[in-house]
C-alpha cells in the first residue's frame, strides 16, 4: 500500500523526534499513529527537562540534550517550545528530607553534574514564596522545563515540512517478516512496507512486538496533573520535593502545572483509558499548598491523567533486536522520556543509518531483559 525507508510506530515525542532527525538526513519516514499526534504521555507529562535525580545510566543522555540540544531546539524547529533553563529546585522540610537531598547532590556531583545544597535563607532569597517550614533545598542550575505539547508538535511540524508522511488513526496490529527480517507492518486497513521499523508506541509496543514473538516487560502506571489559571510570574524553576509528593513549574503563560499522586492510583478501576481519579487532584493541591501556601487562591482549571510505560529497572529500551534485522525498539521510558527525547531521536536516527553513536546505548539494550522473558 505504501513504501518508506523507515516506518515509525507511534506519533509521540520520541517517534516525532526520530522522524525529524531521520528525515533531516534524507531518510524517507512514514509515521503511523493510532490516535492523534502527541495523544499519549507526550502531552500528559509535567514538562521537566531534568538531569538531577536521574538514574546514573540515563544521565549522560539528559546532560547531552541539555548541553547541546534543548537550548537551540526551538530555533531549529521554528516553533517557540517555551524552554526555560533556570534550574531545578528540590525542597525539603525535615532532617530526613535534608539527608535525601544531600544524597542526590552527592550523586549528581560524582557524575559531573553541577548541583548544590541551599540553606533556608538561600532558598528564600531565590524563591520568596515558599512555606516557612521549608528548611533545606537542593539546586541544579542547568535543569529546566519546556512545553511538552508544543515540543512534540514542533518535531511533527518540521518533519512533515521536510517530507515525512504521517498517518493518524492508523493502528498497527502486527509486524511482518520476510526471511527473518522486518518487511513492514499490518494495520486494519492494509499493509505498509519498510525494511526498518522503529516501535515507539509506549505500552502498545508490547502487543505489537508480541506479534512476531518478541517481548519486553512493561507495566502501566497512572499519573495525574493539574493546571491553574494564569498567575503573576513567581519563579522560573522546575520544582520538586524531597518526599517527591508533587512536582511542577510555572509556564510562560503564567499558569502552574503540577503533578502528583494520592497513592491510590494503582488500586483504581482497571481502565483502558487514562481516567482521572477523584482523590488525586485534592492530594496534589494539599501537597502544593504545604510548600506554596500563596497559591491557595490560584484556580485549578483542568486536571488530566496519563499512563507511564514502566520497565523493571525504570530505564527505557532503545535498542536493535539482535535476532531480527530491521527492528528497533524505543519504549519503556518509565515517566522520564520527555527531557531526553531530542537525543533519543538523534540516537535512533544513528541506529537506523548505522552511524557511530553520539552516546553508548548499552544500558538500554533489549537483551538485558532476555533472562526473564
Partner 1 sequence: MKECVIRRTAAKEPFMAKLEDSMIVCRCEEITKGEIRQAVYDGMMTMNEVKRYLRTGMGLCQGQSCSRKVRDIIAEEMSVPRETIEISSARNPIRPVPMSIYANDKACKRR
For residues 198 and 18, is the Cβ–Cβ distance under 8 A?
yes
For residues 62 and 51, is the Cβ–Cβ distance under 8 A?
yes
* Contact map string, positions 129 to 158, toward partner 1, x by CB under 8 A: --------------------xx-xx--xx-
Q: How far is CA 371 from CA 115, 216, 279, 368, in A?
A: 37, 11, 39, 7
304-363 positions binding partner 1, by CB under 8 A: 304
Which residues does 209 contact at the CB level (< 8 Å), separation at least 6?
A: 175, 199, 215, 216, 321, 327, 329
* Contact map string, positions 95 to 134, toward partner 1, x by CB under 8 A: ----------------------------------------
User: Nearer to partner 1 by C-beta: 35 or 98?
Assistant: 35
> 120 is written with which cell numbers?
533556608
User: Nearer to partner 1 by C-beta: 126 or 300?
Assistant: 300
Q: Which of 15, 92, 281, 345 binds partner 1 (CB under 8 A)?
A: 281
Region near partner 1 per CB under 8 A, out of 30-38, 65-73, 123-131, 323-331: 30-38
234-253 positions binding partner 1, by CB under 8 A: 253
Region near partner 1 per CB under 8 A, out of 33-41, 62-70, 89-97, 201-209: 33-41
CB atoms within 10 A of CB 157: 17
Q: Regarding beta strands 136-140 and 88-92, do their DSSP bridges make them parallel or antiparallel, or are they unpaired? A: antiparallel
User: Nearer to partner 1 by C-beta: 268 or 312?
Assistant: 268
User: Nearer to partner 1 by C-beta: 22 or 140?
Assistant: 22
Rounded to the nearest whole angstrom, what is the least distance from the CB of residue 253 to partner 1 in the complex?
Answer: 7
Shortest CA distance to 55 belongs to which of 298, 314, 251? 314
Q: Which of 5, 82, 165, 215 binds partner 1 (CB under 8 A)?
A: 165
Q: How many residues are present in the chain?
A: 373
Shortest CA distance to 365 belongs to which of 315, 324, 325? 315
Rounded to the nearest whole angstrom, what is the least distance from the CB of residue 308 to partner 1 in the complex?
Answer: 19
User: Nearer to partner 1 by C-beta: 300 or 314?
Assistant: 300
Q: Kind and range of the H or E element at 311?
A: none
Q: Contact between 295 and partner 1 (CB under 8 A)? A: yes
Task: Tell me the number of residues near partner 1 by CB under 8 A.
Answer: 47
User: Nearer to partner 1 by C-beta: 31 or 62?
Assistant: 31
Q: Contact between 263 and partner 1 (CB under 8 A)? A: no
Which residues does 254 contact at the CB level (< 8 Å), separation at least 6?
A: 229, 230, 231, 232, 233
Q: Contact between 77 and partner 1 (CB under 8 A)? A: no
Q: How far is CA 181 from CA 99, 172, 177, 283, 328, in A?
A: 52, 18, 5, 49, 12
**Strand order from edge to edge, sheet including 172-178:** 2-3, 191-193, 181-187, 172-178
Q: Which of 28, 107, 114, 160 binds partner 1 (CB under 8 A)?
A: 160
Phi, psi of 47 (to 5 degrees): 80, 15
Distance between CA atoms of residues 133 and 361, nearest Å: 42
Region near partner 1 per CB under 8 A, out of 46-54, 58-66, 137-145, 273-281: 273-281
Q: Which of 57, 178, 286, 370 binds partner 1 (CB under 8 A)?
A: 286
Distance between CA atoms of residues 173 and 114, nearest Å: 45
Rounded to the nearest whole angstrom, what is the least distance from the CB of residue 316 to partner 1 in the complex?
Answer: 23
Residues that bind partner 1 (CB under 8 A): 34-39, 43, 149-150, 152-153, 156-157, 160-163, 165-170, 189, 227-229, 253, 276, 278-279, 281-282, 285-286, 288-289, 295-304
Amino acid at each position: 500500500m505504501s513504501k518508506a525507508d523507515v516506518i515509525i510506530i507511534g506519533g509521540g515525542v520520541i517517534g516525532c523526534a526520530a522522524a525529524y532527525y531521520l528525515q533531516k538526513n534524507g531518510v524517507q519516514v512514514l509515521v503511523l499513529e493510532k490516535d492523534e499526534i502527541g495523544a499519549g504521555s507526550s502531552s500528559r507529562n509535567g514538562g521537566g527537562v531534568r538531569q538531577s535525580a536521574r538514574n546514573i545510566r540515563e544521565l549522560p543522555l539528559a546532560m547531552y540534550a541539555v548541553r547541546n540540544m534543548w537550548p537551540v531546539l526551538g530555533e531549529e524547529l521554528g516553533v517557540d517550545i517555551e524552554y526555560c533553563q533556570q534550574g531545578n529546585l528540590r525542597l525539603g522540610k525535615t532532617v530526613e528530607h535534608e539527608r535525601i537531598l544531600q544524597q542526590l547532590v552527592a550523586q549528581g556531583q560524582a557524575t559531573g553534574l553541577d548541583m548544590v545544597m541551599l540553606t533556608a535563607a538561600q532558598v528564600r532569597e531565590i524563591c520568596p514564596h515558599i512555606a516557612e517550614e521549608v528548611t533545606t533545598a537542593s539546586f541544579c542550575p542547568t535543569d529546566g522545563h519546556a512545553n511538552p505539547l508544543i515540543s512534540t508538535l514542533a518535531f511533527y511540524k518540521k518533519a512533515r515540512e521536510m517530507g515525512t508522511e504521517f498517518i493518524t488513526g492508523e493502528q498497527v496490529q502486527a509486524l511482518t517478516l520476510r526471511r527473518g527480517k522486518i518487511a513492514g507492518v499490518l494495520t486494519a486497513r492494509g499493509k505498509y512496507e519498510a525494511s526498518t521499523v522503529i516501535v515507539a508506541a509506549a505500552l502498545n509496543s508490547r502487543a505489537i512486538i508480541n506479534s512476531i514473538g518478541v517481548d519486553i516487560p512493561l507495566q502501566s502506571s497512572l499519573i495525574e496533573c493539574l493546571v491553574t489559571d494564569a498567575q503573576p510570574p513567581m519563579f522560573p524553576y522546575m520544582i520538586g520535593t524531597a518526599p517527591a509528593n508533587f512536582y511542577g513549574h510555572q509556564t510562560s503563560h503564567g499558569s502552574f502545572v503540577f503533578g502528583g499522586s494520592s497513592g491510590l492510583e494503582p488500586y483504581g478501576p482497571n481502565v483502558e483509558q487514562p481516567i482521572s481519579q477523584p482523590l488525586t487532584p485534592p492530594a496534589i493541591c494539599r501537597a502544593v499548598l504545604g510548600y506554596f501556601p500563596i497559591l491557595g487562591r490560584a484556580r485549578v482549571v483542568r486536571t488530566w491523567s496519563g499512563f507511564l510505560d514502566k520497565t523493571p529497572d525504570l530505564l527505557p529500551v532503545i535498542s536493535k533486536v539482535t535476532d531480527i534485522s530491521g527492528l528497533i525498539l524505543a519504549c519503556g521510558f518509565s515517566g522520564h522520556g520527555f527531557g531526553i527525547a531530542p537525543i533519543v531521536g538523534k540516537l535512533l536516527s544513528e541506529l537506523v543509518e548505522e552511524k557511530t553513536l553520539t552516546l553508548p546505548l548499552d544500558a538500554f539494550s533489549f537483551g538485558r531483559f532476555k533472562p526473564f522473558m
